[in-house]
Structure formats: structure tokens, C-alpha cells
Amino acid sequence: MELLKGYNGDRDKLGRCEQFFLELMQVPRVESKLRVFSFKMQFSSQVSDLRNSLNFVNSAAEEASSAIGFRLDSLLKLTETRARNNKMTLMHYLCKVLADKLPEVLDFSKDLANLEPASKIQLKFLAEEMQAISKGLEKVVQELALAENDGPISENFCKLLKEFLHLAEAEVRSLASLYSGVGRNVDGLILYFGEDPARCPFEQVVSTLVNFQRMFNKALEENCKQIELEMKKATETDKSKMGASHKEADHLVQTPIQS
């Protein structure tokens, strides 16, 4: 457009690309309008992605708040404390006790389905995304106010933008309400585990819970394999004893009785 500003020749001699830009140059604040339309085109997917991420965080906070309260830093230490044989950890023992006393809680991971996706989300990026959407909408409002004074050239632009704004403003209000609710739930979750929201970020809480979940399931699997191994050894021992008994019986049958 800068190159075409000084062109005074025949437009028909220009290529289609240059002719297109000459037309764009007639539109007031064309760059601003293009930015607004770019925001409009990306709005639905941008809002949808942010809403999904917020819902993951919200659900993870609600799921984890159903747990019995304890300090987070104690969770991952369960694998550090070992028995004298150095094979069984406190985590293995916990799994064993639960298997005997409360087997219904062994698959608690199913009740924490949103922890894994939530652990991949950083709240600061959600805050930045929320701010970007809000600011983008403000620019739409500003450009619409200016465009209404452009005359006929911006009539269609104004019509499309008004229709978009009617839906977008309601969507952003709903999103802002969800965002605020998520913030409260996240702080509530951190306080629930006896931590300070200013010092213990949500990402740390979720990461700890996800790691605990993985270590618990691993210890449970190892316990099951150990039980299977012990049962297999017991079966082989029984078979060996039975084989020895049969051999002894055969020996007695084959040995003649002496008078």
C-alpha cells in the first residue's frame, strides 16, 4: 500500500493484487478493520478453547476437594519410606491396607479424570487469554463507533459487527463469570490442603496429585504381581509335595512286605 500511494497511472495496467490493494486504500482505517475481522473470525474457537480449559481446571478442583484433607508434601514421601527388606514402601503398605479394608477406593483415579488434562494447563496463560479476548472485544466496540461515521462505505461492515457484538458480549460475560468462579475454586482447593495460594500455585497442587495417583497405581500393580508370584510359588510347592507323596506311595507299593 505504501508503494501504491504515489501511483497515478492507469489502474487497468496493474495486476489484480495491486488493484485489490488500491480498493482497500479507499476504506477508512483499513488496518483496524482487518484486525477486528481477524478477531471476529477467531473468536468462537478462542472462546471455546478457553472455556474447555477453565472447565478442566474447575472439574479438577472439585474432584480433588472430595479427598480427605492432608498436607500435600506428605503424599509423595510415601514412596521414600521403606521396610527393612527395602522392597515394600509405605505406598505399597497403604495399597495393601486399602485392598483389605476399603477395596472400593482402589480405583479412585476414575473419580479424578480431569486431573491429567488440568495438569497440562497453566493459569497464567488462561489469564492472558481472558485478557486478550476482553481487549479484542473493546477494540471491536471502538472501531464500530468510529465506522458509524464513515458513511456508505462502512455500512455493511457496521451491520456485520453489530450482529457479532450482540452475541460476543454475552459470550464474554459468561466466560468472565466462569473465569472468576474457577479462580475462587482454585484458591479454595489450595487452602483445603493447608497451603497458601500466594506460595503454592495450582499447577504445583495438581502436579503433586497426578504424581501421587501414578505412584499409587504403580504400587497397587506391583502388589498384585507379588500376590500372583506368591500364589504361583505356593502352587508349585504343593505340586512338589504331591509329587513326593506319590513317589513315596509308589515306593511302598513296589516294596515287598517282609515277614
**Tens place of pLDDT per residue across the chain (259 aa):** 888 888 888 888 899 999 999 888 889 999 999 999 999 999 999 999 999 999 999 999 888 876 555 566 677 777 777 766 667 888 898 899 999 999 998 998 888 889 999 999 999 999 999 999 999 999 999 999 999 999 998 999 999 999 999 999 999 999 999 999 999 999 998 888 888 888 889 999 899 889 989 999 999 999 999 889 888 888 877 677 666 665 665 655 565 555 4
C-alpha cell at 207: 502436579
Domain regions of the chain by residue span: 25-230
Q: Name the helix (H) or strand (E) containing 75.
A: none
Three-state DSSP at 229 gives: helix
Per CATH, the homologous superfamily of domain 25-230 is Formin, FH2 domain (1.20.58.2220)
Three-state DSSP at 109 gives: helix
From the number of C-beta atoms within 10 Å of its C-beta (0-12, 13-18, 19+), residue 120 rates as exposed
**In angstroms, rounded to a whole number, what is the distance separating the alpha carbons of residues 168 and 146?**
19
56 within 8 A of 116, measured Cβ to Cβ? no
Tell me which amino acid residue 193 is.
F
